[in-house]
Structures are given as C-alpha cells and as structure tokens.
Amino acid sequence: MMSKKIILLATLFLSLFFLTACMPDFESHFKPDETSSRASSKKQEKSEKEASSSKKSSKASSSKKEKKEFQTETSSSKKMEELPANASEAPKDKIYATGDSVVYYKKYDGGLKVHTPDFEGYTTKIVKKILGKPEKTHVDSNYMLETFSEKEKENLVNLYQEGHLTEEQLHAFWAGVVDLAQTAQLEQTFTVFTYKEGQVQLVFKDDNLVYITPDPEVLYFN
C-alpha cells in the first residue's frame, strides 16, 4: 500500500515538472497573437485618427474657401458701390469710369439706347501721370477720319474674343466709336493717345477724355 502511494506521488511530481517545463513554450505560442492583436488595435486607432484629421482638414479647407469667395464677392460689390465721381477721387492704377459707369446697348421699335462711360476730370496731363507717356500722339484730323475707327474695330473684336467684353458691351463701345468718327467729319478737333502699339486708344476733346479702348488693364468700368 505504501509502495503504491510512493509510485503515485512520484508520477504526480513528474507530471507537474513536465507541465512547468512546457509553460514557456505554451506562453510563447500565444504571445505573437497577443502582439498582433495589439498592433491591429493600434493600427485601427491610427486609421481612425487619420480619418478624423482628414475630415477636419477638409472641413477647414472648405470653410476657408467659402469665406474667401464671400470676401471676394463682398469686396467686388463694395468696389462697384464706390465708383469715383471724378478723376481726383479715383485710384491711380488705371482710368476709372466716373458717375454712372453702366454700359448698355438696347434696341427697341424705332429706336436705340446706348450708354458708354463718362470720364469726368481726366485731362491729358492726368492720363499721362497714370498711364505714362503715350507711344504716339495724333492731333491731325486725318488719323480720326482714316485710321481710328478701323483700328478700334480690331481692338474691340479682340477684347470680345478674349472674353473681356460681352456682346452688348461690344456694340455699345462700337456705337461710341462711330459717333466720334462722324463728329470728326464735322471738322471737330481731337487729340488721340495710343499705347500698346495701338491696341489702346484714348480720344480727347478740348483736353477732356471722351473715349478709351475698354482694355481691363487700363480701364475699369461696369
């Protein structure tokens, strides 16, 4: 009986010894899975953070864009409301239409309504200060009679094709050119400044500006 107990205890002792010896292998078998799980969890957290950051960045970018567009629209509206009454009140970066700067060309039964900008207070001296010395100055009537209208037709068509003029504005400015050419035939005296190799023409009557090629680089109008 005693011998059986000794054999049983010995067997139990050996079983515990082998189980203890195998524990490191047991733990090491599951350790990679635990590490993988942690890595997967961290990766998921990182992905969620990046997605959240991307959404915030996109939202902020969209907000900035909307704000910029709103500011641009507001600035443009403000500029239109503050058109100068005359040359002395106007900025000096280019020529500004004064007073009512709306340009229109309307046909109706039996008539025609045309409006082009006024340039109150713009003299040859003021224009030279703003645009610089003209490339050429024409004071003879032959230029107005033979060259001005043909050259200006070319200028206006080019501006229209480049998208700087609407069709209505094209017709309105051309009507102004025709009117000036007809007036020149009545022996009226005009002075013409040309810039950009004739692509910009300015017409003065009695030292007052009455017409300018509507190139946006040199003229602001509505």
Answer yes or no: do 130 and 65 share one domain: no
Answer yes or no: do 103 and 151 share one domain: yes
Average pLDDT over residues 196-207: 96
Average pLDDT over residues 136-159: 94
Q: Does pLDDT of 98 surpass 60?
A: yes
Judge contact between 176 and 114, C-beta under 8 A: yes
Q: Does pLDDT of 159 surpass 80?
A: yes
Rounded to 5°, angle at Cα 117 from 145 and 170: 65
Answer yes or no: do 45 and 66 share one domain: yes
Domain limits for position 68: 1-82
The distance of Cα 11 from the centroid of its chain, to the nearest Å, equals 90
Answer yes or no: do 133 and 191 share one domain: yes
Answer yes or no: do 120 and 213 share one domain: yes
Average pLDDT taken over every residue of the chain: 76
Answer yes or no: do 126 and 39 share one domain: no
Answer yes or no: do 167 and 206 share one domain: yes
Residue 196: the pLDDT is 96
Answer yes or no: do 92 and 185 share one domain: yes
Tell me how many helices (H) and strands (E) the chain has.
5, 8
Answer yes or no: do 157 and 195 share one domain: yes
Distance (Å, whole) CA 83 – CA 185:
34
Answer yes or no: do 103 and 212 share one domain: yes
More confident residue, 71 or 205: 205
Distance (Å, whole) CA 153 – CA 170:
9
State which of 82, 102, 125 marks the end of a domain.
82
Q: Which residues contact 167 (CB under 8 A, 6 or more apart)?
A: 160
State both tokens at 193: 């400044």
Residue 219: the pLDDT is 96
Cα 38 to Cα 28, 29, 48, 122, 180, distances in angstroms: 16, 16, 15, 78, 85
Task: Find the largest Cα–Cα distance for the chain.
Answer: 149
**How much of the chain, in percent, has pLDDT values that exceed 90?**
50
Distance (Å, whole) CA 73 – CA 199:
30
Answer yes or no: do 128 and 165 share one domain: yes
Kindly report which listed range (60-64, 83-87, 165-169, 186-190) carries the lowest average pLDDT score: 60-64
Residue 53: the pLDDT is 55
Print burial letters for 13-49: b (CB count within 10 Å at least 16), e (below 16).
Answer: eeeeeeeeeeeeeeeeeeeeeeeeeeeeeeeeeeeee
More confident residue, 79 or 74: 79
Instruction: Estimate the share of the chain in helix, then strand, then coil, as percent rounded to the nearest 5.
Output: 60, 15, 25
Label residue 191 by pLDDT band (50, 70, 90): very high
Answer yes or no: do 93 and 68 share one domain: no
State which of 64, 82, 100 marks the end of a domain.
82
Q: Which residues contact 136 (CB under 8 A, 6 or more apart)?
A: 193, 194, 198
Residue 124: the pLDDT is 97
Number of structural domains the chain divides into: 2
Judge contact between 86 and 98, C-beta under 8 A: yes
State which of 38, 55, 82 marks the end of a domain.
82
Q: What is the pLDDT of residues 9-55, one digit of tens each?
A: 444 444 444 444 444 443 443 344 444 445 445 555 555 555 555 55
Residue 28: the pLDDT is 41
